[in-house]
Structure formats: structure tokens, C-alpha cells
Structure 1
Amino acid sequence: MKDEELSGRLREAAEAHLPDRARMLARVERGMAGGRPAPRSVRPPRAVRPWLRVAGATAAVCGVLAAGAFAVTSAGDDARARGGPVASAPSPAPDSPAAKGPGGLPPEDGPLWTGGAVDPNSNPYWAQSNVTLRTTEPLTALTVELRVALTGGVNSTGSWRSLPEPDFTVSVNESGGYLVYRWTLRPGRTVPAGTHTFAGQYNHAEGDRDATGDYVTAHAVRASGGKAAVGDRFGRTR
């Protein structure tokens, strides 16, 4: 076969195998449409809801207040631990109404004096309120009343006095928001001159109990004639 004839046949074969450009583009487009992942939508940032802003502001304020309260409490505790002074309310003037006992009764009247204080052996669940009565002359009549404010969980667990038990009648009851202990000298008996103690015992809610609402009164008749009446509030500085 001549060279010219061979070259012509090769050229015809090559032209017969030329790719169909239109068909190729169509196949590429179909492949891209089928295999390409669909574009993801982008969610715009959500606006902060109003209640979340309020809650956040409230939490911030509470945090500031809590930090301030902790700082004040810590300062007081540190002062007590170091034995330093802790701020307290000023004591009333001796001749002012606030310095007198309940009902305007003075802590001292003639030969009679009384004072009330919580016993130092009291604990976070139980307490004893001590009443000290001092008289410089015998008494032929005497009534002592101890009133314990009915704060949380207060209920009586007993009472006692340093004077002879047969000389007194004793009652305990609730009245006007108080647990009332009453010791009354029996007719024909006498309280000698000296210092005497009356005590009421009671349970209370756990923790330190505030006794500033408690008070004691005493009414007496002197053997020499005349009456005397005194009173005192617990926790008051005289």
C-alpha cells in the first residue's frame, strides 16, 4: 500500500474518533448536578431574648450584693477573732424611759433590786434564763414573773429557785406571746434579806436565740411596811 493511501486512511480513522464536544459537556453538567452537595443555608445569629438579658443583669447584681455582704460579715468575724471592737448600739441614758424595765419599772426600788440574764451554760437548742433578786430587808409578799418571748420552738422544760420550794407556788403558761414563769410567795412565809435566784428553762429552735424581748418583774411587800416593784429586760446594758 502506498504511503499516500495509508496516511489518508489513518486520517479518516482519527476524524471518526473525534469526541462529540456537545455530548461531553452535557455529561459533565449532569455529573456536576448529581454529585455536587447542595449548598448549606447559613442561619443568621439569633438576637438575645429580653428575659435572658434581664436574668443576666439580675445575676450580676446579686453577685455584687453577695460579695458585699460577705465582705461585711467577714470583717465583723475578723474583728471578733482578733478581740477588736465590734460596732454596737449605744446604751440608753440611765434616766431615759429606755433604760427602765418593762412597764417603766426601775431595776431598783428601795431595798429591792432585780436583773435578768441568759445562763452562760445555755446551748443552741436549750437555754436557762436567770433572774437575780436582791433585797436588803425581809419581804412578806413577793411575786416574780419571768417572761420569755415565744420565738421559734420555745417550750418549757422546767424551773427552779434558790429559796425553799415549799415557800412558793409555781406556774408556767403561755400568755400574750410569752412563756410566763410565775413564783408567788405563800401566805405566812417570808423571804429573808439577801440575794436569791429564780430560773426558767426551755427548748428553742436551733441557733443563737435573741433574748432581748425577754423581761422580768418583781412585786414585793416589805416586812417594815410599804411596797416595792422592779423590772429588768434581758440583754440590756445598764
Structure 2
Amino acid sequence: MNEHIARQLREAAEAHQPDRARMLARMQRGAVGPAPRHRARSGLRSWPRAALAGLATAGILATGGLAVAAIVQTRPSPEATTTPAAPSPTATPSPTPSAPPTTSAPVPAPAATTPATARPTPSATGRAQNGPLWSEASVDAHSNLYWAQSDLILRTAQPLTSLTVELRIAQTGDVRDTGNWRTLPSEDFTVTSQESGGVLVYRWVLKPGRTVPAGQHEFAAQYNHAPGVRSSASDSYRVDAQSAGGSSSVGGGFAPAR
């Protein structure tokens, strides 16, 4: 069956509308009355009209069914449209915060190194310097509410041929001499302690012909005082010396006990 015939069959099948009621009525009429008998030209007995009508009806129905089937088979089935699934949102990884840039702290400049020969300058702490002499005075840490000791440290860069040391302790109430000492030999000095003008004066004088070697030396004055914490604000000292470089002097006050 070529395409032309198939198209005609499809068109006939689509246009054909079988009358079901008429076909049923025709079949009923054929079943009620006996079909007339005709003598066939070929000498064969004729089929009953009802049978012929049934065969015709069956043929029409079969032809229509075939046409409809052909139409159904030849009609292109609509392609299934597949809607692509929406892609699931991909979690975007949060960026890892980068470490802040490390800023190197500026390296502090090295502190200036004090030369070994440097000497502290005079200050309210009892330090003083002049020529080859350097001194520092303070109240001894072992002083108490009834007794005290005033210390003087003396350094000299040159031997001394003359030296006088005075420690002056202000009379603040019941100040009385209880002794004194020095690190230099006692036979090289003349030592006195006396009160004059409201001050207790301790004095060490180097004897003629004696020398004080270069280095560090100490002098101390000891005394009682009125009970309580005594102030050393009015105390003072003075040192006069002679060396190969000439005369020099240092002096100042006493720093409180530490």
C-alpha cells in the first residue's frame, strides 16, 4: 500500500460516521423474515441477505478500524518534552579570611652605653663630681626610729695628698654622736666630732705626709635622735682634696634611706 492509498484511507476513515442504529435495524429485519432464495447463475446457493449484510457491516467496520489504526500509527507522537531539573544551588564556600599582614615592631635603638670612666653629675640624690673626685651620700638602710647612720662614698681617679671630709648632721632633736668609721687606715687621719650652730659636725683630716690611693673609699657618721622617722633634708657633706692635677671639691645632701 503506497502513500497515496494510505492517505485516502485515512481521509475516508476520518470522514466516515457509521449509523449504528440503521445497521442494527437492518440486521433485525433480516432476522425476522426468511430471506428470499435466488437461484445463483453459477448454480451455487446464494448467501442469506442477513449474512451478506453482516459481512458488509463487518467489512466496513474492519476497513474503518484498519484506517484508524494506520492513522494512529502514522501520526507522529508528540515528543516528550523533558524539563531539565533546576540545578541545585551550589553552596559557595565562604572565603577564608586572610591573615592580616604582620607588621614587624620597630627595633628600639640600643641604649647608649655609659663609658667605664663616666662619672654621675651632681643631683639631689647626693651625688657630685669634680675633677678626679666623685661622691654619693645617703642615709644607711639599717637606720631606725632611734638611731641612724649617714654614709659617704668617695671615689678618686688620682692619689690624694690632701683630704678633708665633713659630714654635717642637723640637730633635729636629741641628735647625739655615737661613733664614726672609714675604710682608710685610722692612723692616717685626725678625727673630730662636735656640735656647732645646731649642727653635729664629723671631720676627717688627712695627716701631713700621708696619701689616699686612687679608688673607692667610705666614711660614716653614727648618732642617736629623737624617736620617730628623722628627716635628712637639712644634712650635708663637703670634701676638699689636693692631687697632682690640682685642688678639687665635691659636696651635696644625703638621699633618704632605701
Q: TM-score range by the shorter chain?
A: 0.5 to 0.7
TM norm structure 2: 0.50
Q: Determine what percentage of the aligned residue pairs are the same residue.
A: 56
Is the CA contact (8 Å cut-off) linking 1:107 and 1:114 kept in structure 2? yes
Instruction: Verify: 1:133 aligned to 2:154, yes or no.
Output: yes
Q: Please state which structure has a larger fraction of its residues in helix.
A: 1
Alignment match of 2:240 (pick from 205, 219, 238): 219
Match of 1:210 in 2: 231
Match of 2:129 in 1: 108
What's the secondary structure of 2:221's corresponding residue?
Answer: strand
Is the CA contact (8 Å cut-off) linking 2:232 and 2:255 kept in structure 1? yes
User: In the superposition, relative to structure 1, how do residues 197 and 173 fare at CA in structure 2: closer, same or farther (>3 Å)?
Assistant: same
Could you tell me which amino acid in structure 2 is paired with residue 232 of structure 1?
G
Count of aligned pairs between the two proteins:
137
5+ residue gaps, structure 1: 1-93
Could you tell me which amino acid in structure 2 is paired with residue 123 of structure 1?
N
1:91-143 per-residue CA deviation (whole Å, 9 max, x = no partner) reads: xxx999x8597xxxx81101101121111011110001001111011000000
User: In the superposition, relative to structure 1, how do residues 107 and 177 fare at CA in structure 2: closer, same or farther (>3 Å)?
Assistant: same
Match of 1:145 in 2: 166
User: In the superposition, relative to structure 1, how do residues 121 and 114 fare at CA in structure 2: closer, same or farther (>3 Å)?
Assistant: same
1:49-105 per-residue CA deviation (whole Å, 9 max, x = no partner) reads: xxxxxxxxxxxxxxxxxxxxxxxxxxxxxxxxxxxxxxxxxxxxx999x8597xxxx
Could you tell me which amino acid in structure 1 is paired with residue 254 of structure 2?
F
What's the secondary structure of 1:181's corresponding residue?
Answer: strand
User: In the superposition, relative to structure 1, how do residues 178 and 190 fare at CA in structure 2: closer, same or farther (>3 Å)?
Assistant: same
Instruction: Verify: 1:181 aligned to 2:202, yes or no.
Output: yes
Match of 2:183 in 1: 162
Is the CA contact (8 Å cut-off) linking 1:115 and 1:216 kept in structure 2? no
Distance 1:179 1:149 in 2: 6
Structure 1 residue 213, shift from structure 2 partner: 0.7
Structure 1 residue 171, shift from structure 2 partner: 0.4
Structure 1 residue 212, shift from structure 2 partner: 1.1
5+ residue gaps, structure 2: 1-119
Is the CA contact (8 Å cut-off) linking 1:145 and 1:183 kept in structure 2? yes
Instruction: Verify: 1:230 aligned to 2:218, yes or no.
Output: no
Structure 1 residue 225, shift from structure 2 partner: 3.5
TM norm structure 1: 0.54
Distance 2:121 2:212 in 1: 30
Higher relative contact order (CA 8 A, sep 6+): 1
After the TM superposition, which parts of structure 1 deviate over 4 Å for at least 4 consecutive aligned residues? 98-101
Is the CA contact (8 Å cut-off) linking 2:131 and 2:248 kept in structure 1? yes
User: In the superposition, relative to structure 1, how do residues 123 and 141 fare at CA in structure 2: closer, same or farther (>3 Å)?
Assistant: same
Distance 2:196 2:134 in 1: 25
Is the CA contact (8 Å cut-off) linking 2:124 and 2:255 kept in structure 1? no
What's the secondary structure of 1:115's corresponding residue?
Answer: strand
Match of 2:18 in 1: none
Is the CA contact (8 Å cut-off) linking 1:100 and 1:107 kept in structure 2? no
Alignment match of 1:193 (pick from 214, 225, 249): 214
What's the secondary structure of 1:166's corresponding residue?
Answer: helix
